A and B are shown apart, each in its own frame.
Chain A
Amino acid sequence: DGGITQSPKYLFRKEGQNVTLSCEQNLNHDAMYWYRQDPGQGLRLIYYSQIVNDFQKGDIAEGYSVSREKKESFPLTVTSAQKNPTAFYLCASSTRTGDRNQPQHFGDGTRLSIL
């Protein structure tokens, strides 16, 4: 089945530790995105990538880093500089038709908590 796979489902981070969240898609989508979801705040964009080896900061990129070495993979690292990392992290992807991005499709998220 085509889709977006996020792992792990739950992740715990110790103080001062970097952790990496995995996102893999087999939809052959060019664009991939990372969002953070907090209660009552909707989804906020962390980073996005339109093509391999290129990515841009979203609204809340501080304390996060990404890479896009393969079309199907877009891992997110939550660094120790992110002081409030507890949240539900969602990865999404979309394709383009002409000059228009089609709607984004989401994975089932990773819940990150502080130990």
Chain B
Amino acid sequence: QKEVEQDPGPLSVPEGAIVSLNCTYSNSAFQYFMWYRQYSRKGPELLMYTYSSGNKEDGRFTAQVDKSSKYISLFIRDSQPSDSATYLCAMKNQGGKLIFGQGTELSVKP
């Protein structure tokens, strides 16, 4: 079993939809949770960084962490064609290495 599981998609939604991207994990020691966005032929770009359970909002993006269920989510409101990319979750414990999910490919259709 992989430490971090992420549905690879692809996920296709119409412009303006609310998108939900999810990851589950097995290591209860993970404390730091990140979401990266990766456009084609580019490096991952950090979108959200959270340390504890709960919600963190940044513009149209909301990151949610539920440590009791070992589940994290990224919500995108009012999705735009420019949001079309691969989204990677990543997580680590203190002093540990960063573990990535496989990435979810998102396509937002105009």
Residues of A within 8 A of B (CB): 4, 6, 40-43, 45, 48, 58, 90, 92, 99-101, 103-109, 111
Say what secondary structure dominates the interface of chain A. strand
**Nearest Cβ in chain B — how far from A58, in angstroms?**
7
B102 in contact with A106 (CB, 8 Å): no
**Nearest Cβ in chain B — how far from A45, in angstroms?**
6
Contact partner of B103 (CB less than 8 A), chosen from A42, A48, A100, A103, is: A42
Contact partner of A100 (CB less than 8 A), chosen from B4, B44, B94, is: B94
A/B pair count, beta carbons within 8 Å: 45
In the bound complex, residues from chain B placing their C-beta under 8 Å from that of A92 are 43
B45 in contact with A106 (CB, 8 Å): yes
**Cα–Cα distance between A67 and B66 once the two chains are bound (Å):** 39
Q: Is B74 an interface residue (CB 8 A)?
A: no
B36, B44, B92, B103 pick with most chain A CB within 10 angstroms:
B44
**Cα–Cα distance between A106 and B8 once the two chains are bound (Å):** 21
Contact partner of B102 (CB less than 8 A), chosen from A40, A58, A108, A111, is: A40
Known contacts A40-B102, A42-B88; A108/B42 CB under 8 A: yes
Contact partner of A42 (CB less than 8 A), chosen from B41, B94, B97, B100, is: B100
**Cα–Cα distance between A45 and B45 once the two chains are bound (Å):** 17
**Nearest Cβ in chain A — how far from B9, in angstroms?**
11
In the bound complex, residues from chain B placing their C-beta under 8 Å from that of A43 are 44, 88, 100
**Nearest Cβ in chain B — how far from A80, in angstroms?**
26
B44 in contact with A42 (CB, 8 Å): no
**Cα–Cα distance between A100 and B34 once the two chains are bound (Å):** 15
